A = this chain, B = another copy of it.
Amino acid sequence: MKHPVAMDTNFKDDGDTPYDTSKPSSFLTYRLSRVQARLNAQAADLLRRHGGVPLAQWRVLLLLYGGDVSSQKEIVGLAQFDKGQVSRLVDTLIERGLISAKSGGKDKRVRTLSLTDDGTAIVERLIPIMRERQRQLLSVFSAEEQTRLMEFISRLDGVADKLDI
């Protein structure tokens, strides 16, 4: 990947803490944002180089491939994507012929979604590659550290909703 290495210890802040450059804690949301952006860029690049789809579309395809979901509502519930975004992602995937939608259910508002053969082929081609990426990403953490990291993230997730300002 790219990325100029710069600033890992030398930037000012994350947009949330104005001064106070001395305390690493001040950089938390900034650094989260950056590492998140880098991981996304790496995943998107990987998908592009292997002739795949954009990252957001890929995530929808995976959910459908796993058989976990068959409607937009379920995609929204599982992945916590915005419903508007899902609506447009589904449109795009249908246009590209990677998924199909049937409206025959009881509830006429709902379209039942499924992968086409093309969509299935793409997912099955990319899955091993994405699994290998995941393996390499996690290789820098011990099992205990992985657990600890996830627990930290959960805690952040919890506190984000409780801020009383």
- Interface size of A by CB at 8 A reads 81
Given contacts A15-B43, A16-B43, A77-B7, contact A158 B140 (CB under 8 A): yes
Per a CB cutoff under 8 Å, which of B13, B15, B34, B66 touches A18? B66
The proximity string for A residues 138-159 relative to B, scoring 1 for CB distances below 8 Å and 0 otherwise, is: 1111010111111011111111
Alpha-carbon separation in the docked complex, A139 to B123 (Å): 42
CB-CB contacts below 8 Å: A1-20 with B: 1, 3-4, 6-8, 11-19
Contact A59 B18, CB 8 Å, known A136-B159, A140-B158: no
Q: 1/0 contact trace for A76-113 toward B, CB 8 Å?
A: 01111000000000000000000000000000000000
